Amino acid sequence: MAWRQMEFTDIPSREEFEQLTLDLLRRGITNSDRMRDEIRKDRQLILKKATGNWAQTPSDKFVHEHAWVLENLIVKKTIEKTTPKEYVLAHQ
């Protein structure tokens, strides 16, 4: 599989993003940028710099969807945000 530009169809569902995020946290990857890098590297996808127009490009939507997953996991008390862009599994 060769590296290629990300397309909208490459963006994981929120459910898949959630599982990937929890797996990465269990492996000790706590930074949201690093999490996204790990996910895209596993899929050999080239991520362009996000512009902030959250649905305009596949890269923007990828970042946006992952951010929503992180927020949802916080609301569900599954993870905690320790500092900007840093997360840990919640103590249960």
Domain boundaries, the chain: 12-89
Examine the pLDDT at 52 and tell me if it is beyond 90: no
Examine the pLDDT at 92 and tell me if it is beyond 80: no
Residue range 12-89 forms a domain whose CATH class is mainly alpha
Cβ neighbours of 36 (radius 10 Å): 22
Least confident of 12-16, 41-45, 49-53, 66-70: 49-53
Q: How far apart are CA 1 and CA 73, in angstroms?
A: 32
pTM for the predicted model, two decimal places: 0.92
Query: Residue 10: CB partners within 8 Å, gap ≥ 6?
Result: 43, 45, 58, 62
